[in-house]
Structure 1
Amino acid sequence: MNHVVSNVKQVLVALLNNEKEIDDDFRSMILSFIKEKGDDTLPFAELCILHYETFTSDFDEEILKIAAAIELLVLSFDIIDDIQDGDSSHSWATSPALGINSALAMLIVSSKIIRESSLTHSNLAGRILEKYALQSIDGQQRDLLNLAVDESSYLRMIERKSGSLTAMSCLIGVVLATGRSSAHVERYGRYIGVIHQLKNDISDLKSWGRKNDILNRKFSLPVIFLLALEDELSIHIRRYYEKEESTTLDRDQVHQALTESGAIRYALFFIHNYQRKAEQTMKDIPLPEKIKSKLLSIMK
């Protein structure tokens, strides 16, 4: 879908260039943020278009605008998340006041794009966007409070924070094509978001920088597993989380513990479990093999 990604990017730039309620300097900043994000893929746009193509026999290129709106919404959430977490070197994080204002504008523009769409079921798509965006914000609130300190509460949190956005993208494609929602699509769409969040959690722990959850005293499944152990290093890390001033961490020891304790394998187990559940859910509805194959590749 590389051509689709390119088309969505072009449509997004055109939509922002045509937005008359923001001045040129502000528009240039927002466009620079989109360019800085620099993704070669637009996963949320791809999920939306993939499901729209699957469930309609009458493709309307207006869907590219909706897909662009979804990516704009998600970028606004990314900007706010980076500013709240303080773990990013992106320009919007170094100028947080301007970053927040840009994110607010992106939110409004994304909603406006869908509301003004000529597609028959755009009103329903707008309601889905609002519902699942609020769920994601609720998940982010739980994450910021850092209260997801056990397996079940952490999984519930990322199902809301991350899973809601992928579920939203899939569902919007379906409802624009059919006028109806789908519980099965919602379910596997949410699982896709959880899978990618768990992969990001593991990846962030491999670095020893601003995004490392242990250094930031945040929780993820590998961290929760490690903190539950009673060995010397786990006790030492718990003291660090409790902010005992004399406690420092050794990078090599922590990385070794994450690997040898089974903490990473523990997180991988849940990734495989969610992949299995998503695949099973796909079997429960009549999806063409082409989309099944694509979705399975997205989850790998």
Structure 2
Amino acid sequence: MSNLISEINTHLDAIIMEEEEIDNSIKEMIISFKEAKDENNYYFGQLCILHYTEFSNSFDDDIFKIAAVIELLILSLDVIDDIQDKDTEHVWTTNPALSINCALSIIVLSNKIIQDSSFKHANRAAHYVEKCILRSINGQQKDLLNNCQDERSYLKMIEDKSGSLTAMSCLLGVILATGKVPPQVFAYGSYIGVIQQINNDIYELKNWSGKNDIINRKYSLPVIYLLSLHNDASENLHAYYRGENQANLDKELIEQALLESGAIRYANIIKSVYKNKATNLFNEIGLSNVLYKELQNYMR
């Protein structure tokens, strides 16, 4: 996978620096955003390449450029997401107005590159990218409204917000290879995205000094579970979410409750449900052992 990461990174830099219609100040900011990302494993771009390789009878090196485009799109959405949420201190949050310009430039540039690529089914691929991005924006809108306070609505929201982006990455590789849009690929791509989001939700609850859903009065599966209980921790949490005792959130009590009440275990059970649903679709569509194992790694 290190070779894929290197290829994607090389093409990503080239896309940014060679685009004549983007001002140098914007190029420099985009490069700084890319370098400031916490992880540069290019998870989405790799999914695109893996699916293209799986479904194509030949290999076109331009897929590395498309994978880099996907990573640029994800970066732009991360920038907008963090500016809207106001819960991180990434470099792009220091000057939101300029950062939004960068994000908009990326979105326009990305679609242009996909459509202008050498692939036979480039236009169809670009259409589905637009469709998935709009679905993700719908999910982000629901997240910002912060009214997904039960399991069903919360899972639907993250299927839209996060799942659609993973589905987009998988589908893009398939469409460029075949022109087809297998519903199984869209579905299991969405499920993988949900699993990744649940992992993030659990991880962020362990960090009380940074991005944390409870501190920001956001909902996630462990929070929804904890709020459904009738004990001291849930009462304290309900009051905090209603804004009654902002200074008196009992972090020690809540942290203990998250571990002992079954809230984390509940989130992991939901994750297992999605893993089983995705695995069933892997078998239904008949994926190779290579891609099957790689996708299983994404669902840990």
TM category (shorter chain) comes to: over 0.9
Give 1:89-168 correspondences, 5 Å limit.
89-168=89-168
Instruction: Give how far 1:246 is off.
Output: 6.1
Deviation per CA, 1:139-168: give whole Å up to 9, x if none. 000000001000000000000000000000
SS at match of 2:181: coil
2:297 is aligned with 1:297: yes
2:231 corresponding residue in structure 1: 231
Instruction: Give how far 1:247 is off.
Output: 5.3
Instruction: Give how far 1:12 is off.
Output: 1.1
Equivalents in 2 of 1:274, 1:246: separation in Å?
Answer: 35
SS at match of 2:285: coil
2:249 is aligned with 1:249: yes
Equivalents in 2 of 1:256, 1:42: separation in Å?
Answer: 35
1:195 corresponding residue in structure 2: 195
Which structure 1 residue ranges, 5 or more long, are not aligned? none
**Which stretch shifts more, 152-161 or 88-97?**
88-97
**Which stretch shifts more, 164-173 or 282-291?**
282-291
Equivalents in 2 of 1:68, 1:165: separation in Å?
Answer: 14
CA contact (8 A) 1:148 1:157 kept: yes
Equivalents in 2 of 1:38, 1:157: separation in Å?
Answer: 24
Equivalents in 2 of 1:240, 1:38: separation in Å?
Answer: 30
CA contact (8 A) 1:48 1:67 kept: yes
1:36 corresponding residue in structure 2: 36
Equivalents in 2 of 1:246, 1:269: separation in Å?
Answer: 31
Deviation per CA, 1:217-236: give whole Å up to 9, x if none. 01000000101111122111
Instruction: Give how far 1:251 is off.
Output: 2.1
Equivalents in 1 of 2:167, 2:40: separation in Å?
Answer: 21
CA RMSD of aligned residues (A): 1.0
2:87 is aligned with 1:70: no
1:217 corresponding residue in structure 2: 217
CA contact (8 A) 1:226 1:258 kept: yes
Cα 1:246–1:106, aligned 2, differ >3 Å: closer, same or farther?
Answer: closer
SS at match of 1:57: coil
Instruction: Give how far 1:171 is off.
Output: 0.4
Identity of aligned residues (%): 51
Cα 1:145–1:251, aligned 2, differ >3 Å: closer, same or farther?
Answer: same
CA contact (8 A) 1:210 1:216 kept: no
Instruction: Give the alignment's TM-score, normalised by structure 1.
Output: 0.98
2:45 is aligned with 1:45: yes
CA contact (8 A) 2:184 2:281 kept: yes
Instruction: Give how far 1:210 is off.
Output: 3.4
Instruction: Give how far 1:298 is off.
Output: 1.3
Instruction: Give how far 1:115 is off.
Output: 1.3
Equivalents in 2 of 1:143, 1:132: separation in Å?
Answer: 16
1:54 corresponding residue in structure 2: 54
Instruction: Give how far 1:258 is off.
Output: 0.4
SS at match of 1:25: helix
Instruction: Give how far 1:250 is off.
Output: 2.3
Instruction: Give how far 1:38 is off.
Output: 5.1
Equivalents in 2 of 1:75, 1:94: separation in Å?
Answer: 16
Equivalents in 2 of 1:83, 1:75: separation in Å?
Answer: 12
Deviation per CA, 1:11-30: give whole Å up to 9, x if none. 11111111111222221111
SS at match of 2:87: coil
Equivalents in 2 of 1:246, 1:143: separation in Å?
Answer: 21
Equivalents in 2 of 1:181, 1:245: separation in Å?
Answer: 50
SS at match of 1:162: helix
Equivalenced residue count is 300
CA contact (8 A) 2:239 2:245 kept: no
Give 1:253-264 correspondences, 5 Å limit.
253-264=253-264
Equivalents in 1 of 2:290, 2:254: separation in Å?
Answer: 42
- Which consecutive aligned stretches of 4+ in structure 1 deviate over 3 angstroms post-superposition? none
- The one-letter amino acid paired with 1:201 is D
